[in-house]
Structure 1
Amino acid sequence: MNALHQYLFDTYRAAQLGEPMPPAPGTHDVAVLRSVRDRRRFGRVLAGRPARAGLRTALRRWLRPPAC
């Protein structure tokens, strides 16, 4: 059973019981990703590291050859 099947079952059950419909799959994905990003930034600030460009800096270090 995938997420769509579960959503359809939950929607049917909610309609039968007169309860509010559940949110569609994927509705809150962007909000979850944003909160994960914010939590990681906050952790970097508490650790004394720059709050921005953590991924970019790591990729730049990894992809660029060392300066001679």
Structure 2
Amino acid sequence: MNALHQYLFDTYRADRLGEPMPPAPGTHDVAVLRSVRDRRRFERVMAGRPVRGGLRTALRRLLQPRARRPPGGSRE
């Protein structure tokens, strides 16, 4: 059974019992994604990290070639 079948069963049951209709599948998806985004921003602020640029920084770190260190592990 998928989400549409469950929705149809719930709608039928609500109609028979005189209860309010349930929301259609996917109705609140955007609100959920926004709340997840806001929560992550809040956690970044509380951790003292910048709110914007996290994805861009991570992608840059993955895509840029790393600088090679000289042999022996000495840093300049």
**In the TM superposition, what is the alpha-carbon distance from 1:37 to its structure 2 partner?**
0.6
**How many residues are aligned here?**
68
TM-score using structure 2 length: 0.82
**Residue segments in structure 1 that go unaligned for 5+ positions in a row:** none
Amino acid at match of 1:39: R
For residues 38 and 64 of structure 1, what CA distance do their matches in structure 2 show? 29
Q: Which has the higher contact order (CA 8 A, sep 6+)?
A: 1
SS at match of 2:24: coil
**Residue segments in structure 2 that go unaligned for 5+ positions in a row:** 69-76
The one-character-per-residue Cα deviations of 1:22-56 (angstroms, maximum 9, x if unpaired) are 00000111110110011001000000000112112
TM-score using structure 1 length: 0.91
1:49 corresponds in structure 2 to: 49
2:73 corresponds in structure 1 to: none
1:6 corresponds in structure 2 to: 6
For residues 63 and 39 of structure 2, what CA distance do their matches in structure 1 show? 26
CA RMSD in angstroms comes to: 1.2
For residues 45 and 30 of structure 1, what CA distance do their matches in structure 2 show? 23
Moved more, 50-59 or 22-31: 50-59
For residues 28 and 56 of structure 2, what CA distance do their matches in structure 1 show? 26
